[in-house]
Amino acid sequence: MADRKPFVGGNWKMNLNATEAEQLVSALTTTLGDVSAEVAICPPFPYLASLGRQLSAAGSAIKLGAQDVYYQSNGAFTGEVSVAQLKDVGVQVVLTGHSERRHVIGESDVLINAKTRAVLDAGLEVILCIGEKIEQREAGQTDAINAGQLGYGLAGVTAAQMERVTIAYEPVWAIGTGKTATPADAQAAHAAIRKTLAFLYDEKVAAATRIQYGGSVKANNAAELFAQPDIDGGLIGGASLKTDDFTAIVQAAG
């Protein structure tokens, strides 16, 4: 994992009610009190404000994350939420380009880039998610797809802003399916992503950028994945909804 600080994100997706969310945060502030990895949780929008208050009241180092954002600063965009509004309720990090937003909701690379830049321009951190579909993997296109999504997603992002960017490599076929990439396959994809970052920026940026693996990371496979030299933590969906599982995964990251 080189000398990059491991980073584990919990992507709750559209799960939990207010009481369950509060209980999960309450448990995590205790169990994750002394871990050395950086941790973020990304709850649904309606719970961000209250969970943000809960985290600061507990003096927790867990970062508050949002699952999405809109790139415009304000105005007639019914249903959307701006970066400033997220910042207002204590959000520090925002996911962009998650595969469910790309492939279920239909977001384009252009929109994902606009969102990524809006978050960075406002001084927040981004986790930019990329990854190939199964037919693309089978056609040998994994690295090309990742390189394309990186190039589009990071267009206009400066080397200085890259200090606030984490990449999440999440093969679409591994998300929520129980099928995890083998540690060797994940490592190969991560190494190629790091090469692309060196091409887009330079070796220094490439070496400093954290690349999370996501896609069916569980308590029993996390350690093996995180032991790979270019895997710097994970983005966790299903297993982030359970205190014991998420705690074990964060502990596996360091």
Nearest-approach distance from CB 53 to ligand PGA, in angstroms: 25
Nearest-approach distance from CB 77 to ligand PGA, in angstroms: 25
Q: Looking at the DSSP assignment, which residues form a beta bridge with residue 42? A: 11
**Binding residues for ligand PGA, per CB under 6 A?**
11, 170, 175-176, 214-217, 235-239
- Residue 194: strand, helix, or coil: helix
Pick the catalytic residue from 98, 100, 107, 190.
98
Nearest-approach distance from CB 41 to ligand PGA, in angstroms: 12
Among all residues, whose Cβ is closest to ligand PGA? Answer: 237
Nearest-approach distance from CB 214 to ligand PGA, in angstroms: 4
Which one, 205 or 238, has the nearer CB to ligand PGA? 238
Q: Label residues 6-34 b or e (16+ Cβ within 10 Å = b).
A: bbbbbbbbeebeeeebbebbeebbeebee
Cβ neighbors of 9 (< 8 A, separation 6 or more) are 39, 40, 41, 42, 65, 93, 95, 127, 166, 168, 212, 233, 234, 235, 236, 240
Which one, 11 or 142, has the nearer CB to ligand PGA? 11
Which one, 129 or 205, has the nearer CB to ligand PGA? 129
Residue 170 appears among annotated catalytic residues: yes
Residue 190 appears among annotated catalytic residues: no
- Is beta strand 93-96 parallel, antiparallel or unpaired with respect to 125-130? parallel
Active site amino acids:
98, 170
